[in-house]
Amino acid sequence: MKGTYQNRARQVVVLVRLDFGGQPHRNPDGVEVPSPHLHVYRDGYGDKWADPVPMNEFPNMADLWLTLEDFMRYCNITEPPNIRRGLWGWSKR
């Protein structure tokens, strides 16, 4: 399963992005980071750099629901949106 979770500021500035199930990412210095990987905003680079996912922060990468909860916790989201799991995926209330 391939996907991305993002936390943005001002609708366009990616502060944190978690990519999983996709291709490796090549950083500006040429180093390739396998998937899953985590992009954290860097001044002057935006979200162009990626690091391996810290498994202590995201221990359940096989479960997308738990990974979403871990991502919101990682981003310090204090009031997460009310999301319920639906029969065919997730649906927002």
pLDDT in tens, 45-87: 989 999 999 999 999 999 988 999 999 999 999 888 888 776 5
For residue 7, the surrounding DSSP H or E stretch is strand 3-9
| Domain extent at residue 25 | 3-92
Are residues 15 and 9 in contact, defined by beta-carbon separation less than 8 angstroms?
Answer: yes
What does the block give as tokens for 20? 């999983």
Domain count, the chain: 1
Q: What is the pLDDT of residue 89?
A: 57
Distances (CA, A) of 31 to 7, 15, 34, 51: 24, 21, 10, 10
Report whether pLDDT(91) > 50: no
Q: How confident is the model at residue 93 (pLDDT cuts 50, 70, 90)?
A: very low
pLDDT in tens, 1-23: 789 999 988 888 899 999 999 99
